[in-house]
Amino acid sequence: MGFVKRLMEGYEGGLRDEAMTPMQKIALRFVVIGLLFYGLAALEGMIMRLHEVKPLPMIDESHFFSIMTVHPMVGIFGSSYMIVFGAFLFLTPYLMKKPIYSVKLADLSWKLMAGGTFIMWLAGFLFHYAPLYTLYWPLPVDFKQFNLIGGITYIVGVVGIMVGTFLFTYNIFKTILYTPEGWERQPSWELLKSTLGLEGLLNFFRREKKEHLVPLPIAAIGRGTIDMGLNAIVISSAGLLILIYFLGELFGASLKDTWVDALLYKNIFWWGLDLIADGLVLIFVAGTWYLLAMLISGKDLFMQNIARAALFIEMVVSWTVWSHHLMSDQGQPNILKVVSGEMVTAFELITQGIAVFITLVTLWRARPLKMSNELKFLLGGILGFMLAVPAGIIQADLGMNRVLHNTQWIIGTHVHVAILVGLTMTLYSAIYILLPILTNNTVKLYSQKLANLHFWLHLIGGIGMGAFMGMAGMDGMLRRAIYLNGEYNTYMILAGICGAMLLAAFVIFLYNIVMSFGVRGLIAIYRPAAVQTNEAVLPPKEES
Amino acid sequence: MADSVDVLQTLKIVYTIYALIVISLIGWFAYNIVRDGKKEGAKPAIFYTYIAILVVIGTGLHFLTYNTVPWVPYDLDRHKIKPDKVFHITYRDHTITIEGEKPMLIHCGDKVVFEAKSEDLTYGFGIFRQNGSMVAQMQVVPGSRNDLLWIFNKNGIYNIKSTEYSGPKGAFMEVRDAIRVIGCREYDRYSIK
């Protein structure tokens, strides 16, 4: 078969979508857009890295920092959120064995998320709006530096993302709790208690243990989704506050002297923002590891009750941990720095350590296992968090924070290793394991050699980049600064080579996926499904 | 007395060893998971010992640094300590202004407080050596108390930089040779001009 024909039709006929349900298609729509945004974020990262090595002539400071502003937003909301939303909107009805509450809301969610991310990206690209994702007050409303239209565009994009997030949250909980038409009435309250982990907690004090009504991965999805909803409320509130200032400026009633306490704002904003970094990411990842371990091993999870309890603790930890971002703020009370910043943060080492242990033992009990793509990416993901979580714990210490805060250490060794190696490799594992389920087993992988190459380039590139950024940080390189004289060039060139490996890994993966699905197959994902059902998958046909 | 160079050098060594151990552990696991062998899960005693180790490491780090990193105890107690000298630094329109003597002259072992005040945006106050490595930093938040108590034990000349992003105009906020420490027996070899 010629290259063009294979490109169009895919490997062994590519995706055949006739029997795909709307939820299978919507999940794939989320994933495909999420992967494209990942590519955009990787490209932005490379541009910034090159600029750190040798300033690029076409990029000035305002352009550089506008890229830095949208880079994490595209990476987190455009890519990670999208892939997670797609997977969980499919898995929730699939694992609960009931139809999704609303296909329309699910479809609207991906459109809002994708559109919102694109609009927000435009605010940086066209108008150089660059308050960074931290939005430290009063920078987002500093009209001496930023264009008003750019700011409004940015907020409109964020609104799209947040509305998409609220719809996802509503749809997930409604699906878990509602009674589908024609079904016996579902015990909503009992289901909610099981999802939140209250039942699991009460079981510790009961002689006769109650059975869990929802599977463990659903408990993880539910608990992470609570953090997601709370985070969306905080970000939306900040967006509303900023919008009020914009509108005041636009209509000639400047609010520039209106008093907003910058430290209080920072506390509230970090409380909400940390629900992503230290909340839903860790909870979702742990839940995904458990699901993957069970699917790969074909066995029940080891120490399932402990795993449920750890997920509940992680949720409480995520609500009380924000102060580790304010350890260099001298106005922040010491008690918050020590209790929330140091001690509660240390619990993340324990909860994540439990997830690592339970996942590895579950797999170990089923050996020998085949080193499949899902298994190798899962192990890569676990390694990523084993490297990244302690790096964050080290930074969340009063002694270390004084010499590491805002350096490349935290963004490299902690954040990039956690997201690129830990989270992204976990997501790749989930993609590989869900691929046959989402495509009714019609798509065969085009090349295993390319999949292996993708794995090694991504793993080495991700760890290497984090390591070299971390070393630069320990030598004093700041994370939100430009260096014009090549002060940290050795580290930045090495990190750049690793970044190029990551980018190459992504291109190889994308090529492998396009060749597997075929261009026609990928287009078919965005056509309406021929089958009209709210079920995640169609029941298998009965043998005649 | 230990300074940031010593602390970060220790971190570099400890974290590199840790990284090599966990990479080897996952490598060992990946090698053996595809081979047949014992299949039983971990005994509860192993699991709870592992949790105990995590608790000790997670919380022990803070007790360790409290007792070994010199600036932790006096940072926590700085409101009770009477400084030998106070320096006032003002931030406005992406400019750092040192009020009073320049460079800020500090005698070895003196307790000095840097009191920074922002009149518009959120900035950062960072002390850097001539080779770019960091001595210490804090955030400079408008309307908030931003005071850093520090004791220098080595002679040297240090720069001040804003360590927090305050918009594109603040990309290069720096005061070179802003601090001069004298009177110590030892010289900071990265801060000699």
- Annotate A288-329 with DSSP letters as a single string: HHHHHHHHHH-SPPTTHHHHHHHHHHHHHHHHS-GGGGGTT-
A137 vs chain B: nearest CA distance in angstroms?
A: 7
User: Is B188 domain-assigned?
Assistant: no
pLDDT above 70: percentage of residues in chain A:
99
One domain for residues B162 and B88: yes
A145 vs chain B: nearest CA distance in angstroms?
A: 7
Whether residue A383 contacts residue B22, with contact meaning beta carbons closer than 8 Å, is answered with: yes
Say how far apart CA A386 and CA A378 lie, in whole Å. 12
Q: Which of B32, B36, B61, B125 to mutate to test the interface with A (most CBs of A within 10 A)?
A: B61
Q: Which of B131, B151, B163 to mutate to test the interface with A (most CBs of A within 10 A)?
A: B163
Residue found under tokens 């080492």: A349
A299 shares contact with chain B (CB less than 8 Å): no
The minimal CB distance from B148 to the residues A136, A330, A386 is found for A330
Sheet holding B134-140, edge to edge: B104-107, B174-182, B156-161, B123-128, B134-140
pLDDT > 90? residue A314: no
Neighbour-count burial of A474, counting CB atoms closer than 10 A to its CB (0-12 exposed, 13-18 middle, 19+ buried): buried
Residues forming beta bridges with residue B187, ordered by sequence position: B155
Average pLDDT score over residue span A158-177: 97
Whether residue A33 contacts residue A82, with contact meaning beta carbons closer than 8 Å, is answered with: yes
Domain that holds residue B99: 83-182
Reported as a pLDDT band with limits 50, 70 and 90, residue A505 is: very high
B17 shares contact with chain A (CB less than 8 Å): no
B98 φ, ψ (degrees, to nearest 5)? -90, 120
Sheet holding B95-99, edge to edge: B95-99, B85-92, B111-118, B146-151
Give the number of domains in chain B.
2
User: Is B127 domain-assigned?
Assistant: yes
Helices (H), A373-488: 373-395, 398-404, 408-409, 424-438, 448-474
One domain for residues B154 and B88: yes
The minimal CB distance from B54 to the residues A262, A350, A387 is found for A350
pLDDT > 50? residue A39: yes
- The verdict on a CB contact (< 8 Å) between B12 and A474 is yes
- The verdict on a CB contact (< 8 Å) between A329 and B37 is no
SS3 B178: strand
A151 shares contact with chain B (CB less than 8 Å): no
B36 vs chain A: nearest CA distance in angstroms?
A: 5
The minimal CB distance from A383 to the residues B26, B165, B167 is found for B26
A342 shares contact with chain B (CB less than 8 Å): yes
Tens-digit pLDDT profile for residues A228-265 = 999 999 999 999 999 999 999 888 888 876 779 999 99
One domain for residues B43 and B90: no
B63 shares contact with chain A (CB less than 8 Å): no
Longest dimension (CA), chain B: 74
A522 vs chain B: nearest CA distance in angstroms?
A: 33
Say how far apart CA B124 and CA A328 lie, in whole Å. 9
pLDDT > 90? residue A76: yes
Helices (H), B41-192: 44-68, 71-76
Reported as a pLDDT band with limits 50, 70 and 90, residue A308 is: confident
From B75, B91, B108, the end of a domain falls on B75
- The verdict on a CB contact (< 8 Å) between B15 and A391 is yes
DSSP A209: P
Tens-digit pLDDT profile for residues A324-347 = 999 999 999 999 999 999 999 999
**Which are the contacts of A430, defined by CB distance < 8 A and separation ≥ 6?**
A83, A87, A288, A292, A374
B1 shares contact with chain A (CB less than 8 Å): no
A485 shares contact with chain B (CB less than 8 Å): no
User: Is B193 domain-assigned?
Assistant: no
One domain for residues B176 and B98: yes
Say how far apart CA A499 and CA A39 lie, in whole Å. 12
Determine how many CB atoms are found less than 10 A away from the CB of residue A200. 23
Tens-digit pLDDT profile for residues A261-303 = 999 999 999 999 999 887 888 899 999 999 999 999 999 999 8
Determine how many CB atoms are found less than 10 A away from the CB of residue A210. 13
User: Is B118 domain-assigned?
Assistant: yes
User: Is B191 domain-assigned?
Assistant: no
Residue B142: both structure tokens together:
């408008």
B151 vs chain A: nearest CA distance in angstroms?
A: 14
Say how far apart CA A429 and CA A454 lie, in whole Å. 12
Predicted local confidence at residue A259, as pLDDT: 74
Average pLDDT score over residue span A105-120: 98
Collect all residues of chain B within an 8 Å Cβ-Cβ radius of residue A402: 4, 71-72, 75, 136-138
What amino acid occupies position A268?
I
Whether residue B163 contacts residue B137, with contact meaning beta carbons closer than 8 Å, is answered with: yes
Of B121, B127, B140, B131, the closest CA to residue B174 belongs to B127
One domain for residues B178 and B89: yes
A145 shares contact with chain B (CB less than 8 Å): yes
A313 shares contact with chain B (CB less than 8 Å): no
One domain for residues B134 and B150: yes
Say how far apart CA A184 and CA B107 lie, in whole Å. 80
Write down the mean pLDDT value for chain A: 94
pLDDT > 80? residue A51: yes
Reported as a pLDDT band with limits 50, 70 and 90, residue A544 is: very low
Neighbour-count burial of B38, counting CB atoms closer than 10 A to its CB (0-12 exposed, 13-18 middle, 19+ buried): exposed
Chain B nearest-CA residue for A390: B58
Predicted local confidence at residue A257, as pLDDT: 65
Classify residue B183 as left (phi > 0), alpha (psi -120 to 50) or beta.
Answer: left
Which chain A residues in 100-129 lie under 8 Å from chain B, judged by CB atoms? 128
The minimal CB distance from A138 to the residues B40, B75, B121 is found for B121
Across chain B, where does the E strand assignment appear? 85-92, 95-99, 104-107, 111-118, 123-128, 134-140, 146-151, 156-161, 174-182
- Give the CB-side neighbour count of residue B44, counting CA atoms within 13 A: 4
A539 shares contact with chain B (CB less than 8 Å): no
Tens-digit pLDDT profile for residues A349-360 = 999 999 999 999
One domain for residues B67 and B101: no
A171 φ, ψ (degrees, to nearest 5)? -65, -40
- The verdict on a CB contact (< 8 Å) between A353 and B54 is yes
A138 shares contact with chain B (CB less than 8 Å): yes
Which chain A residues in 445-474 lie under 8 Å from chain B, judged by CB atoms? 463, 467, 470-471, 474
The minimal CB distance from A350 to the residues B39, B58, B134 is found for B58
One domain for residues B91 and B67: no
Give the residue, A306 or A14, on which the prediction is more confident: A14
The minimal CB distance from B121 to the residues A142, A403, A407 is found for A142
Of A258, A272, A263, A249, the closest CA to residue A133 belongs to A272
- Give the CB-side neighbour count of residue A449, counting CA atoms within 13 A: 0
One domain for residues B57 and B93: no
**Full set of structural domains in chain A with CATH:** 23-525 (1.20.210.10)
pLDDT < 70 regions, chain B: none
Q: Which of B139, B149, B158, B172 to mutate to test the interface with A (most CBs of A within 10 A)?
A: B139
pLDDT > 60? residue A543: no
- The verdict on a CB contact (< 8 Å) between A145 and B132 is no
A206 shares contact with chain B (CB less than 8 Å): no
Whether residue A299 contacts residue A359, with contact meaning beta carbons closer than 8 Å, is answered with: no
Tens-digit pLDDT profile for residues A180-221 = 999 999 999 999 988 987 777 777 778 887 888 999 999 999
- The verdict on a CB contact (< 8 Å) between B132 and A65 is no
Collect all residues of chain B within an 8 Å Cβ-Cβ radius of residue A476: 128-129, 131-134
One domain for residues B52 and B99: no
A482 shares contact with chain B (CB less than 8 Å): yes
From B75, B94, B113, the end of a domain falls on B75
User: Is B112 domain-assigned?
Assistant: yes
- The verdict on a CB contact (< 8 Å) between B146 and A331 is yes
A-to-B residue pairs, Cβ atoms closer than 8 angstroms:
231
User: Is B190 domain-assigned?
Assistant: no
DSSP A141: G
Reported as a pLDDT band with limits 50, 70 and 90, residue A542 is: low
The minimal CB distance from B19 to the residues A60, A365, A387 is found for A387
From B45, B75, B105, the end of a domain falls on B75
DSSP A397: S
DSSP B118: E
Chain A nearest-CA residue for B138: A328
How many residues in total does chain B contain? Answer: 193
CATH number of the domain where residue B107 is located: 2.60.40.420
SS3 A334: helix
**CA distances for A230 relative to A12, A57, A223, A234, angstroms:** 45, 42, 11, 6
For the stretch A91-111, what's the b/e string if a residue is b when 16 or more beta carbons lie within 10 angstroms of its beta carbon?
bbbbbbebbbbbbebbbbbbe
Residues forming beta bridges with residue B139, ordered by sequence position: B124
pLDDT > 90? residue A420: yes
One domain for residues B68 and B87: no
Say how far apart CA A175 and CA A99 lie, in whole Å. 7
Say how far apart CA A462 and CA A478 lie, in whole Å. 20
The minimal CB distance from A367 to the residues B39, B47, B134 is found for B39
What amino acid occupies position A306?
I
Predicted local confidence at residue A280, as pLDDT: 83
User: Is B55 domain-assigned?
Assistant: yes
Collect all residues of chain B within an 8 Å Cβ-Cβ radius of residue A346: 55, 58-59, 61-62
Say how far apart CA A103 and CA A530 lie, in whole Å. 14
One domain for residues B107 and B51: no
SS3 B90: strand
